[in-house]
Amino acid sequence: MKNIPFAKVVCDGNELKYVQEVIASGWLTTASKAKEFEKRFAEQVEAKHAIAVNSCTAALHLAMDAIGVKAGDRVFVPTMTFTATAEVVRYLGADPVFLDVEFGSSLLTPYILQEAIGKYPDVRTLIVVHYGGQAAKMIVPDGQGILDICRKHDIQVVEDAAHAFPARLHGKIVGSFGNIACFSFYANKTITTGEGGMLVTNDDEIAKRVRVMRLHGIDRDIWSRFKDSMPNWEYDVIAPGFKYNMPDINAAIGLAQLERAEAMRKER
Give catalytic residue positions: 189
Q: Which CA distances in Å does 179 have to 26, 48, 95, 199, 264? A: 36, 12, 20, 11, 27
Compute the distance between CA of residue 254 and CA of residue 41 in angstroms, rounded to an integer.
9
Q: Near ligand PLP by CB under 6 A, which window of 42-50, 78-86, 148-156, 206-214?
A: 78-86
Q: Is the Cβ–Cβ distance between 99 and 78 less than 8 Å? A: yes
Nearest approach, Cβ of 141 to ligand PLP (angstroms)?
A: 26
- Does 250 engage in binding with ligand PLP (CB under 6 A)? no
Distance in angstroms (rounded) separating the CA atoms of residues 185 and 156:
24
Minimum CB–partner distance for residue 167 and ligand PLP (Å): 13
Residues numbered 17-36 forming contacts with ligand PLP, rule: CB under 6 A: none
For ligand PLP, the binding residue among 19, 75, 77, 84 (CB under 6 A) is 84
- From CA 137, how far away is CA 149, in angstroms rounded? 11
For residue 55, the minimal CB distance to ligand PLP (Å) is: 3
Strands 74-78 and 95-99: parallel
- Choice between 155 and 164, CB closer to ligand PLP: 164
Let me know: does 225 contact 232? Beta carbons within 8 Å. yes
Tell me the per-residue interface mask from 178 to 217 with ligand PLP, x by CB under 6 A, - otherwise. Answer: ------x-x----------x--------------------
Q: Which is nearer to ligand PLP, 15 or 159 (CB)?
A: 159
- Under the binding rule (CB under 6 A), the answer on residue 163 touching ligand PLP is yes
For ligand PLP, which residue of 19, 22, 45, 129 counts as binding (CB under 6 A)? Answer: 129
Closer to ligand PLP at the Cβ: 145 or 197? Answer: 197
**Which CB contacts under 8 angstroms, 24+ apart, belong to 103-107?**
105/131, 105/134, 106/80, 106/131, 106/132, 107/78, 107/80, 107/131, 107/134, 107/136, 107/137
Judged by CB under 6 A, the number of residues near ligand PLP is 14
Q: Which is nearer to ligand PLP, 14 or 55 (CB)?
A: 55
CB 250 within 8 A of CB 226: no
| Residues 226-245 contacting ligand PLP, CB under 6 A | none
Non-local (6+) Cβ contacts of 164 within 8 A are 130, 133, 134, 135, 174, 183
Of the residues 31, 41, 64, 81, which one makes contact with ligand PLP according to CB under 6 A = 81
Contact 194, 187 (CB under 8 A): yes
Q: Which residues bind ligand PLP (CB under 6 A)?
A: 55-57, 81-82, 84-85, 129, 160, 162-163, 184, 186, 197
